[in-house]
Amino acid sequence: MSRVENKKGKETNKKKDVVYYIIMAILLCIIGFSGFKVYRIASEYKKGTDTYNDIASEAGALIDDSTTTHLDTKLELDWVKLIGKNADAKAWIRCVGTVINYPIVQGSDNDYYLTHMFDGTWNVKGTIFIDARCAEPFDGFNTTMYGHRINEGSMFACLLEYLEKRDTPFFKEHPTMELYTPSKDYDIQIFGAAIVDARDEFMYNNNIQDEADKQRYIDWILNHNSLVGYDNSVSVTTEDRLVMMSTCLAGSDNDNRVVVWGKLVEVDRNISGN
């Protein structure tokens, strides 16, 4: 091999080495950036969880569900503290045995609480909130509540489980949620679940007054019901008050929502009867 050929070979190898190191540097940067994003998201989730645990503790809602059941526990909520912390506070929702144990608010729009927690701090978890267009929360025919489907399972993420097939349906384990307001307490008797178009104005109508429209709304739910394990145990009429809980689907589907419906039934949670 001539000196010229040898020199060219070395230069070629050097170029290959340079390209190799550049590629490695780019890959390391990508890995580092991805790791930072994962860490930042995880930190944001933890911050949100800690904040809501603190709020639940202050409000009297932090109970160990692993040692209690729906029938032997009652939340003694401090509404003065809750409303003092946020005047938008309207209710508290709890589903025993799940992470759902959160305050509910109603703001002046449907944007702010997508990215702000109950205490007003920015966080991807946001707050569970009532549709701003709802004129009579929990008193009218239908009240829509929104909550994020957080990847680590918090907020309204478990609503999706009402539609999943399994040996023991999620509905059988959680047929009822609890709703507390400053004036009354309710059970939310779950009776429907479906995938709904987020742009469907009729299904997201919070101010239905006409009896025929109310019946049409109920009929749509029952005809499209995908609530796994449901046994038609909850009777629903136009005289009832409904709660509609809405959350996002997984992935990039921005047009549809997971929706779970329940019927409000006023209850007295004073177990002792006093």
| Amino acid in position 163 | L
Which of 60, 83, 85, 55 shows the shortest CA–CA distance to 73? 60
For residue 133, give the DSSP letter.
T
Q: Distances from the Cα of 96 to the Cαs of 93, 138, 176, 177, in angstroms?
A: 10, 21, 9, 7
Q: What's the rounded Cα separation, in Å, for the pair 38 and 36?
A: 5
Query: Which comes out higher in pLDDT, residue 132 or 61?
Result: 132
Domain contains 14: no
Domain contains 51: yes
Domain contains 171: yes
Instruction: State the pLDDT at residue 69.
Output: 46
Instruction: State the pLDDT at residue 44.
Output: 75
Q: How confident is the model at residue 68 (pLDDT cuts 50, 70, 90)?
A: very low
Instruction: Give 229-269 as a DSSP string.
Output: T--S-S---TTS-EEEEEEEPSTT--SEEEEEEEEEEEE--
Domain contains 20: no
Can you give the CATH number for the domain in which 54 is found? 2.40.260.10
Question: Beta-carbon neighbour count of residue 67 at 10 Å?
Answer: 8
Domain contains 16: no
Mean pLDDT score of the chain, rounded to an integer?
85
Instruction: State the pLDDT at residue 96.
Output: 92
Average pLDDT of span 119-130: 95
Instruction: State the pLDDT at residue 153.
Output: 86
Q: What's the rounded Cα separation, in Å, for the pair 69 and 67?
A: 7
Q: What's the rounded Cα separation, in Å, for the pair 128 and 131?
A: 10
Render pLDDT for 70-83 as a digit per residue (tens, 0 to 9): 445 678 899 999 99
Q: Which of 59-68, 130-139, 212-221 has the lowest mean pLDDT?
A: 59-68
Average pLDDT of span 100-109: 96
Residue 242 has, within 13 A of its CA and on its CB side, a CA count of 29
Number of domains in the chain: 1
Residue keyed to tokens 């909520």:
77
Both tokens of 36, joined, read: 């930072």
Burial class of residue 238, CB neighbours in 10 A (0-12, 13-18, 19+): middle
Q: Are 269 and 176 spatial neighbours (Cβ–Cβ below 8 Å)? A: no
Domain of residue 236, residue span: 46-267
Q: How confident is the model at residue 113 (pLDDT cuts 50, 70, 90)?
A: very high
Average pLDDT of span 209-222: 97
Q: Are 260 and 161 spatial neighbours (Cβ–Cβ below 8 Å)? A: no
Instruction: State the pLDDT at residue 48.
Output: 79
Domain contains 35: no
Q: Which of 173-177, 184-188, 211-215, 266-270 has the lowest mean pLDDT?
A: 266-270
Q: Are 100 and 158 spatial neighbours (Cβ–Cβ below 8 Å)? A: yes
Instruction: State the pLDDT at residue 36.
Output: 42
Instruction: State the pLDDT at residue 253.
Output: 67
> In whole angstroms, how large is the CA radius of gyration of the chain?
25
Instruction: State the pLDDT at residue 143.
Output: 97
Render pLDDT for 21-45 as a digit per residue (tens, 0 to 9): 666 666 655 665 555 444 455 567 7
Instruction: State the pLDDT at residue 261.
Output: 98
Domain contains 91: yes
Domain contains 151: yes
Residue count (the chain): 274
Q: Which of 1-10, 46-55, 94-103, 174-183 has the lowest mean pLDDT?
A: 1-10
